Amino acid sequence: MSGKKMWGGRFAAATDALVEGYTQSVSFDHRLYAEDIAGSKAHARMLAAQGIITRDEAAALIQGLDTVLAEIESGAFTWDPALEDVHMNIESRLTALVGPVGGKLHTGRSRNDQVALDFRLFVSGRAAAWSAGLAQLAAVLLERAAEHKDTLLPGCTHLQPAQPVSLAQHLLAYAWMFKRDVERLADAQKRIRVSPLGAAALAGTTYALDPAAVAKDLGLSGVFANSMDAVSDRDFVLEALSCGSLVMLHLSRLCEEIILWANPAFGFVRLPDAYSTGSSIMPQKKNPDVCELMRGKTGRVYGALTALLTLMKGLPLAYNRDMQEDKEPFLDADRTVSESLALMAGLLREIGFVPEAMRAALKRGFLNATELADYLAAKGLPFREAHHAAGAAVAKAEAKGCGLEDLSLAELKGFSPLIEADVFEALRFETAVARRNAPGGTGPDSVARQIEDLRIWLAALEASGA
């Protein structure tokens, strides 16, 4: 247990033990140690450059901070809850190492702007890690799409068979979603990577600081224009959690499809053993538990976003201690998003697709009915009449228990005299898909363009180091 608090000059009585436990944050904000030390080193360099401390003092502080960093990363550092948070723990150990000069590090700053800086750096780093995970997942989807350009399956609306599409087109739809997620995170970084240091507690400081130099030192894009906004803003966490919620939404939709496709009623995929579990009572079961849990954990990330929105909605300017509660929801959401992205990439690499089951489902769903209507419309029949004729043909095939393509030419001509022998080519599922090469369509040329465009994007992303 530490002695007098660093802020305890006007206090005569010790803090109640229950209060200490209730108000401490070091049990979770110790995760920000690297960012806290990086910010402190930049602050020390700036103080020396401004003549507020000497260069020798700055060098001693930086050397001491490097020692603290090494102790933390080796596991030798002892975190003391009585010192409340990551900042006080590091400063206390620094002062023990370098002596009274350690007390000069906090010149011109407050824990309010210090924690805002640390958390911004941390959130920025995790957002970058999410982007990397998203890019990896998109790359896996591209690989699998390239393997299945000629595999056809039912495309659905209302979860009912609608039109034939390529499996590649289906997988690429998710790749485009994850590309948007990367773009959203990149845009959020513009607002995350702004330095609040120099705002001090809320009103700024009388010291001749150079906040822009600290921002540049840390690779940030700029500084806050208003000190009260600087210490009380948590939009950057909310934006990151909003982006993370959309990532999980997209993952959850993909999970739902895999769960459905793994059901023998569909049978479109074979789950890899490494990403499945069994039943304690039913020996035949192979459960898509990873996908089910990922679908469920989406709610955790939504909950983190909702918790922080609720936390912030009633806070007056400037800093309030309520804002200590911003970190645990983000840390939990970060773990969920990061693990989910890695797991989905691994699952998709190993999942087995079953083209023959997809083909069988095409025949069951009359997915070429639109082709018959389009065929008749192309022969001059008004589309609404063509639609009715095709619907009547579907009813006939359904009654016979066969596909449209299995009806005889004579039977089909009974629905319109415009139908000729070339109708059977139009009714082929491959023809239906091949005709749809408009931009974004499921045709092979369109799919090839999508794959190439996404490959170019991924290569540019890798080249940029983003």
Report the catalytic residues.
Answer: 158, 279
Residue type, 110: S
Q: What DSSP assignment string belongs to 397-422?
A: HHHHTS-GGGS-HHHHHTT-TT--TT
Cross-strand bridge partners of residue 222: 194
- 179 with 138: CB under 8 angstroms? yes
CA geometry: angle at 56 spanning 55 and 60, to 5°?
Answer: 115
Q: Phi and psi of 86, rounded to 5°?
A: -60, -35
* For the chain, counts of helices (H) and of strands (E): 19, 6
Short-list 457, 447, 451, CA closest to 165: 447
- Beta-carbon-side half-sphere exposure of residue 20 (alpha carbons within 13 Å): 14
Do β-strands 152-157 and 160-166 pair in parallel, antiparallel, or remain unpaired? antiparallel
Q: What is the DSSP letter of 20?
A: H
What number of other Cβ atoms are within 10 A of residue 219's Cβ? 11
Query: How many CA atoms, within 13 angstroms, populate the side-chain half-sphere of residue 402?
Result: 10
Q: Decide: 285 and 279 in contact? Cβ < 8 Å.
A: yes
Task: Retrieve residue 126's tokens.
Answer: 């995790």
Rounded to whole angstroms, the Cα distance separating 73 from 70 reads: 5
Q: Please give the structure tokens belonging to residue 290.
A: 């990873």
